[in-house]
Amino acid sequence: MTSFKLLFPIISLLLTILSSSVNSLNLGEVNVLIINNMQAPLTHHCHSQGNDLGTKTIQQGKSFTWTSQIILKKSESYFCDMSAGNLHGNFDIFETKRDFGRCAESNCIWRVNRDGLYLFINNNYALQYHWP
């Protein structure tokens, strides 16, 4: 019984240290790629709450990419305002909780078509958003 009384503060301290370090545990990173599959240049402005990627124009058949860190218990979302010709919309392109498990091999690959935005899931492009 005495040995347990001695071990209890040590175990308690270790659990406290472990739980505080888990809050900031880096689980890796995800590459987000946007491919312009339109017949016109695609202009986009992507940003998260703490990171503004600026306004960029992607020519037909070209792509734009960025990397997002995945931190346990921290959800990050990237929104992109996109336009091509007379099409315009704002899309939730990356959300940690939603996309961490569904993006193949830590790559979220988006293909922007005339009918909408497709995400590469399970070896296939699946329509996620129509243009508004």
The number of distinct structural domains making up the chain is 1
Cβ contacts of 69 within 8 Å, gap of 6 or more: 26, 28, 29, 76
Residue 54 within a domain: yes
Residue 17 within a domain: no
- Domain with 59, as residue range(s), is 25-129
Stated as kind and residue range, the H or E segment containing 118 is strand 116-121
For residue 20, the model assigns a pLDDT of 46
Residue 119 within a domain: yes
The whole-angstrom distance between residue 17's C-alpha and the CA centroid of its chain comes to 28
Q: Is the pTM of this model over 0.85?
A: no
Q: What string of pLDDT tens digits covers the 132 residues of the chain?
A: 555 566 656 665 545 554 444 455 656 788 999 999 999 999 999 999 888 999 999 999 999 999 887 666 567 789 999 999 999 999 999 988 888 778 877 899 999 999 999 999 989 999 999 999
Residue 19 within a domain: no
Residue 49 within a domain: yes
CA distances from 100 to 17, 94, 105 (A): 26, 9, 10
Stated as kind and residue range, the H or E segment containing 56 is strand 52-58
Cβ contacts of 110 within 8 Å, gap of 6 or more: 32, 33, 34, 35, 93, 117, 118, 119, 120
Residue 1 within a domain: no
Residue 118 within a domain: yes
Check which CATH number belongs to the domain holding 76 and give it: 2.60.40
